[in-house]
Amino acid sequence: MSPELIIAIIVTVVGASTPILIAALGELVVERSGVLNLGVEGMMLVGAITAFVVVFLTGNHYLAILLAAAAGLGTSLIFGFLTLSLSANQTATGLALTIFGTGFSALAGQGYSARPVTLLGPLFPSELATHPIWRVLFGYSALVYFALIMVVAIWWFLKKTRAGLILRAVGENDLSAHSIGYSVIGVRYLAVMFGGAMAGIAGACFPLLLTPQWAERMTAGRGWIAVALVVFASWRPFRLLAGAYLFGLVMTMELYAKAGGGPLSVVPSELWAALPYLATVAVLVLISIRRDASTNAPACLGKPFLPSN
């Protein structure tokens, strides 16, 4: 493999990984607070159509990202209200949210499909990215760097801040967090809203970063890969980063192998597609065998908070 090809592969992998990384970072915070929102795919689609329409109407990519975040946040409030205020079942509500997002985005997007937009250009001036090596570092759009910054920010937030500690406490033991005076529901609302905003931005990556068009269901299941990724990374931001690029590599290596021939091209594409999920199960098994407390699922994950019980 030539250095140019390796660099080209890296660039494609980074592109493919970014939306799942952003969505998974949001879901990581949500799950750390003890909530399982399976509506990521739906919120991503709402973000994708919002970003598309905004950039089509205004041409302003950053406004599109901002409003996609707002749209994702708004969608997540439906989930938050039902599961947190009304303590509805999180799994069923998350699935319903995906049905909603899929239908709503398709409805809102009618008439926008034959319209092209432009991708969000690289963040840095092109002079910085002329040499292939520099291209790996400076050749991307702002969304890619945003994802990387958020990895560090979320790690710092969870590990180093008081607010992060409270969030983790709420996810690990909601009753004691409640008893020492924290608003479990309030914290979880904030986490769910953050997750929604991130899913919205992840959706915006599709028309702004990957393929500048609107197509119904264009996220094509990547919201579920994001859910898998959070588990694969055992709820840790830096593992999530590595996992996202690994998943992105698996998703794109299939295509590179098929396009270029060679030994990997005989692996059935179905096995490539199943790999992220099988790897996630394997990781779950591994962390359970190691019984490393820091890699376990948040203890309250998916359970409603009912203080008066």
Largest CA distance in the chain: 64
Beta carbons within 8 Å of 111's beta carbon, 6+ residues apart? none
Q: Which is nearer to other proteins, 64 or 153 (CB)?
A: 64
Tell the smallest beta-carbon distance from residue 118 to other proteins (Å).
9
Quote the least distance from Cβ 127 to other proteins, whole Å: 18
Query: Exposed, middle or buried, 148 (CB in 10 Å: 0-12/13-18/19+)?
Result: middle
Burial class (CB in 10 A: 0-12, 13-18, 19+), 45: buried
Judged by CB, which is closer to other proteins: 242, or 264? 264
What are the DSSP calls for 293-307, one per residue?
A: GGGSPPTTTT----T
Nearer to other proteins, 163 or 278 (CB): 278
> Measured from the CB of residue 226, what is the shortest distance to other proteins in angstroms?
12
Nearer to other proteins by Cβ, of 106 and 128: the residue is 106
Nearest distance, CB of residue 185 and other proteins, angstroms: 5
Short-list 147, 150, 141, CA closest to 209: 141
C-alpha to C-alpha distance for 67 and 46, rounded to whole angstroms: 10
Nearer CB in complex with other proteins: 83/157: 83
Nearest approach, Cβ of residue 225 and other proteins (Å)? 8
- Least distance in angstroms from the C-beta of 262 to other proteins: 9
Q: How far is the CB of 25 from other proteins (least distance, A)?
A: 18
Which DSSP string do the residues of 88-144 spell out, in sequence order? Answer: --HHHHHHHHHHHHHHHHHHHTTT-TT-------BSS-GGGGSSHHHHHHH-SBHHH
Of 295, 292, 192, the closest CA to residue 234 belongs to 295
Strand boundaries in 21-77, DSSP class E:
none
For other proteins, the closer of residues 149 and 281 by Cβ is: 281
Nearer to other proteins, 173 or 213 (CB): 213
Q: Which helix (H) or strand (E) holds 152?
A: helix 142-160
